[in-house]
């Protein structure tokens, strides 16, 4: 690990100023950043420790029905907040399907949004990677790429975004509050992460010094609480990143889907909202024919970036499974194996 | 540049001078405080051998910068027994043969203590296994580990009950 300067500001304004210099990076719990620094993938000259900033560690339920989650709220605390689980069960299930208990205790909401791809070539400093070294090339293109992107990829980069949490969040129209040099602004989470195009080194629309201070879910997202699931295929049952995942939320009235929300993980450089598929579900009965059609639409533009054509079929099956399980009703308690398609004996609410 | 931090280490307040901000909590414990019970396995947050409790919560000490823990209360495997009286999780690990080589055991025990405090698993072995998935055991003592955590949880619940009765 290369040496760095360490500062621990006490106000957001001081933090933004300290992080606005070239080579500076924010440090929250560091569960991803320290790993990258140890591997020689990231070498910040200055770490701006934000863990002591005031007011960023609260979950606030606002009068209008929305929820505002401070960027320093730990993943485990949000996933076990009883009111949050009731209102946004698919988000809690996604959180609990990710990482390990130790990592969820440390990792923050803001850090989860800012985590980097787990592409092995990005992580391996000697490999060519356009993210690490723009113009260097992409060793993943001709390498071990069965887990890489099938949507939105480019010749420059075929990496996927690793977050589970972000998948139901984009489906539910989450908004990110950002503090920067020119004050506070808000962006839809769906717009935060960028597709690679010719500039895969630019992963988000954040500028130098920008700090995520909070995440909000709108009141409308509560309307899906009775029919919401996050389903994730992994190469082992627990403590693994998604091969493919899907967040499905349905608003069902009198046996008809009034509104659907659908997003996929593990398929692209960003959490992938499937709006056309959502449209196809509005006004139809919650049955497997409609779910298959939605899955077909969601993956219609997919193409393999390597040895990963299987992910296109797998993603469609996971979409069908997530929609089927969502339509059966949100479980009364998050399953013992969160997000797992192999969970059994789950009781459903009516 | 030097950094002064203050930690409560197994119940004892310690003032520590760090001459380098790169020191992880794990390396601080092992290399500078002579607390070598906490093990370094992968050093990348994948194996759980370095699990300790920080302010009562289990974390991977290999992925935590020591300087950022300023003011924290740290509990390591050295601090869980009372003299010769083992912690209920330690005792249950012995009773259930929950280890072979023992390298992962300090991390497993700390993780088990953290799991019981979190109170999410109940008496469901599937939930215990899921909540212990951040601790690898290459000897494959998982069956014993699950039994040990379940039994220790019962022991702790019973003694809490006796105390409050």
- Whether A168 is in a domain gets the answer no
- How far apart CA A85 and CA A145 sit, in angstroms, is 35
Instruction: State the CATH number of the domain containing residue A32.
Output: 3.30.43.10
User: Residue A347's pLDDT is what?
Assistant: 43
pTM for the whole structure: 0.97
Q: Which of A41, A78, A105, A346 to mutate to test the interface with B (most CBs of B within 10 A)?
A: A105
Q: Are A106 and B25 in contact, with CB atoms under 8 Å apart?
A: no
Q: E-strand spans in A207-316?
A: 211-217, 228-233, 244-253, 256-265, 272-273
- How far apart CA B84 and CA B82 sit, in angstroms, is 6
Which residue in A263, A216, A259, A243 sits closest to A313, CA to CA?
Answer: A243
Instruction: State the CATH number of the domain containing residue A305.
Output: 3.30.390.50
A334 contact B CB<8A: no
Of B1, B24, B58, the CB nearest to A102: B58
- Whether A337 is in a domain gets the answer yes
Of A3, A49, A102, the CB nearest to B51: A102
- Whether A27 is in a domain gets the answer yes
B159 contact A CB<8A: no
Q: Are B41 and B61 in contact, with CB atoms under 8 Å apart?
A: no
- How far apart CA A337 and CA A334 sit, in angstroms, is 8
Q: What is the pLDDT of residues A315-346, one digit of tens each?
A: 999 999 999 999 999 999 999 999 999 875 44
**What ipTM describes this predicted complex?**
0.97
Q: What is the pLDDT of residues A57-83, one digit of tens each?
A: 999 999 999 999 999 999 999 999 999
- Whether A119 is in a domain gets the answer no
- Whether A163 is in a domain gets the answer no
B117 contact A CB<8A: no
- pLDDT, mean over chain A: 96
Which residue in A206, A199, A204, A165 sits closest to A76, CA to CA?
Answer: A165
- Whether A14 is in a domain gets the answer yes
B74 contact A CB<8A: no
SS3 B69: helix
- Whether A250 is in a domain gets the answer yes
Question: Taking CB atoms and an 8 Å limit, are A101 and B64 in contact across chains?
Answer: no
Q: Which pair of tokens denotes residue A202?
A: 């630019």
Burial class (CB in 10 A: 0-12, 13-18, 19+), B8: middle
* Predicted confidence band of residue A100 (pLDDT cuts 50, 70, 90): very high
* Predicted confidence band of residue A281 (pLDDT cuts 50, 70, 90): very high
Q: Which pair of tokens denotes residue B96?
A: 């259930």
Residue positions counted in chain B: 165
User: Residue B2's pLDDT is what?
Assistant: 86
Crossing angle of helices B105-118 and B88-95, in 10° steps, is: 120
- How far apart CA A267 and CA A124 sit, in angstroms, is 21
* Predicted confidence band of residue A349 (pLDDT cuts 50, 70, 90): very low
Which residue in A63, A8, A12 sits closest to A30, CA to CA?
Answer: A8
Residue identified by tokens 């990963």 is A308
- Whether A213 is in a domain gets the answer no
Q: Are A231 and A325 in contact, with CB atoms under 8 Å apart?
A: yes
Looking at chain B, which residue has its C-alpha nearest residue A51? B68
- How far apart CA B66 and CA A274 sit, in angstroms, is 42
Which domain, by its residues, includes A13? 5-52
Question: Taking CB atoms and an 8 Å limit, are B133 and A4 in contact across chains?
Answer: no
Q: Which residues of A touch B3 (CB under 8 A)?
A: 6
Residues 6+ apart with CB under 8 A from B50: B26, B38, B39, B40, B41, B43, B60, B61, B62, B107
Burial class (CB in 10 A: 0-12, 13-18, 19+), A338: buried
Question: Taking CB atoms and an 8 Å limit, are A101 and B134 in contact across chains?
Answer: yes
Query: How many structural domains is chain A composed of?
Result: 2
User: Residue A344's pLDDT is what?
Assistant: 56
Q: Tell me, what DSSP letter sits at residue B67?
A: G
Tell me what percent of the residues of chain A surpass a pLDDT of 90.
Answer: 97
Residue A170 pLDDT > 60: yes
SS3 A5: strand
Give the minimum alpha-carbon distance from B11 to chain A in angstroms, rounded to a whole number.
21
Q: Give the up-direction half-sphere exposure of residue A97: CA atoms within 13 A in the CB hemisphere.
A: 39
């Amino acid at each position: 690990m290369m040496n760095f300067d360490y500062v621990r500001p006490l106000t957001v304004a001081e933090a933004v100023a300290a992080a606005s210099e070239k080579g500076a990076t924010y440090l929250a719990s560091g569960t991803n950043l320290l790993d990258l620094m140890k591997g020689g993938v990231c070498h910040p000259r200055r770490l701006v420790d934000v863990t002591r900033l005031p007011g960023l560690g609260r979950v606030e339920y606002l009068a209008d029905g929305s929820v505002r989650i401070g960027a320093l709220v730990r993943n485990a605390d949000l996933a076990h907040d009883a009111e949050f689980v009731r209102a946004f069960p698919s988000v809690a299930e996604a959180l609990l399907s990710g990482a390990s208990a130790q990592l969820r205790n440390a990792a923050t909401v803001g850090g989860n949004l800012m985590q980097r791809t787990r592409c092995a070539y990005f992580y391996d400093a000697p490999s060519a990677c356009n993210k690490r070294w723009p113009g260097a090339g992409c060793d993943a293109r001709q390498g071990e790429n069965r887990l890489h992107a099938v949507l939105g990829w480019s010749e420059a980069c075929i990496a996927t975004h690793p977050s589970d949490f972000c998948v139901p969040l984009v489906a539910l129209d989450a908004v990110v509050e950002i503090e920067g040099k020119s004050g506070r602004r808000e962006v839809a989470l769906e717009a935060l992460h960028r597709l690679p195009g010719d500039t895969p080194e630019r992963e988000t629309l954040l500028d130098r010094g920008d700090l995520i201070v909070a995440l909000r879910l709108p009141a409308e997202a509560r309307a899906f609480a009775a029919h919401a699931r996050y389903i994730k295929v992994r190469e082992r049952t627990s403590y693994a990143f998604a091969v493919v995942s899907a967040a499905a939320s349905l608003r069902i009235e009198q046996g008809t889907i009034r509104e659907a929300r659908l997003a996929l993980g593990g398929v692209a450089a960003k959490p992938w909202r499937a709006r056309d598929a959502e449209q196809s579900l509005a006004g139809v009965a919650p049955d497997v024919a409609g779910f298959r059609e939605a899955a077909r639409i969601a993956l219609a533009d997919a193409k393999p970036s390597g040895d990963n054509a299987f992910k296109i079929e797998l993603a469609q099956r996971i979409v069908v499974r997530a929609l089927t399980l969502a339509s059966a009703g949100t479980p009364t308690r998050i399953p013992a194996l969160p997000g797992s398609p192999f969970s059994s004996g789950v009781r459903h609410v009516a | 540049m030097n950094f002064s931090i203050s930690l409560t280490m197994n119940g004892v307040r310690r003032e520590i001078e760090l001459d380098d901000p790169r020191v992880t909590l794990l390396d601080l414990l092992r290399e500078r405080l002579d607390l070598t019970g906490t093990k370094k396995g992968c050093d990348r947050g994948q194996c759980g051998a370095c699990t300790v409790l920080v302010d009562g919560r289990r974390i991977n000490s290999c992925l935590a910068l020591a300087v950022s823990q300023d003011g924290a209360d740290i509990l390591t495997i050295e601090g869980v027994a009372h003299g010769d009286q083992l912690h209920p999780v330690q005792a249950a690990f012995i009773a259930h043969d929950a280890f072979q080589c023992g390298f992962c055991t300090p991390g497993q025990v700390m993780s088990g203590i953290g799991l019981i405090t979190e109170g999410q698993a109940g008496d469901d072995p599937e939930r215990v296994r899921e909540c212990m998935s951040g601790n690898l055991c290459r000897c494959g003592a998982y069956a014993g580990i699950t039994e040990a955590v379940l039994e220790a949880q019962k022991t702790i619940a019973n003694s809490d009950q006796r105390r409050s009765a």
